[in-house]
A and B are shown apart, each in its own frame.
Chain A
């Protein structure tokens, strides 16, 4: 079985500061990892994914994520947060043999002006 943990329900950061949203995963075999963002009353939007290759993945809106196999982590990062980044962020995992995604519970990111 595969699972995802997002240990923080909420992350608070000031605009202009770097942000990190944490994610750890458990899966059999090599993982496929994803980050999605959900704005209020909207569906989830794909941000980025890791399949293989470079451990640092760049995605939409200036976000990036670092895959760490030894720590089974895939933390989402951005060098300089914007107020408009405030939203709910979901980490998800899949693997060979699974056609579906398993999502974490989500982390609310609040960026203050």
Chain B
């Protein structure tokens, strides 16, 4: 158990809908990262937050947004969902500095299915 929690574990929804995925980092970790894992795209970095502020952006669609709250939990919002958004979404956190040499600890993921 990495100490990173994600809810829900599974989510099934329809095209055009909006969903929110939630992540709680390990105690004391200030950095939160979101990733999307699909069979065709592999593991893609979406966005990073550090202590409430956006730190880095990856291949995140404009229909997707995220935020990190004062208690350090983070939410990933996916809107106008398309079939191609079906994937595993992972959250990870890293030690307080969140620098390039620090390993990330991954949550169990949320499996999103868009029908």
Contacts and interface: CB of A to CB of B under 8 A. Distances in A.
B84 interface: no
A98 interface: yes
Interface stretch (B12-20, B41-49, B66-74, B75-83): B41-49
A110 to B, nearest CB: 18
Contacts of B45: 100-103
B19 to A, nearest CB: 19
A105 B42 CA distance: 5
A32 B100 contact: yes
Interface string B24-46: 00000001010000000011010
Interface residues of B, number: 25
Interface of A: 32, 34, 36, 42-46, 49, 51, 90, 94-106
Given A32-B101, A49-B101, A99 B56 contact: yes
7 contacts: A32-B100, A49-B101, A99-B98, A103-B45, A104-B42, A106-B42, A106-B43
B42 A43 contact: no
Nearest to A94: B100
B100 A98 contact: yes
B43 A103 contact: yes
A99 B99 contact: yes
Given A97-B100, A102-B45, A103-B43, 14 more contacts: A43-B107, A43-B108, A44-B43, A46-B104, A96-B100, A99-B31, A99-B48, A100-B45, A100-B100, A101-B45, A103-B42, A105-B42, A105-B43, A106-B42
B101 A94 contact: yes
A103 B104 CA distance: 12
Contacts of B90: 43-44
Residue from A43, A99, A106 having most chain B Cβ neighbours under 10 A: A43
B48 A100 contact: yes
Contacts of B56: 98-100
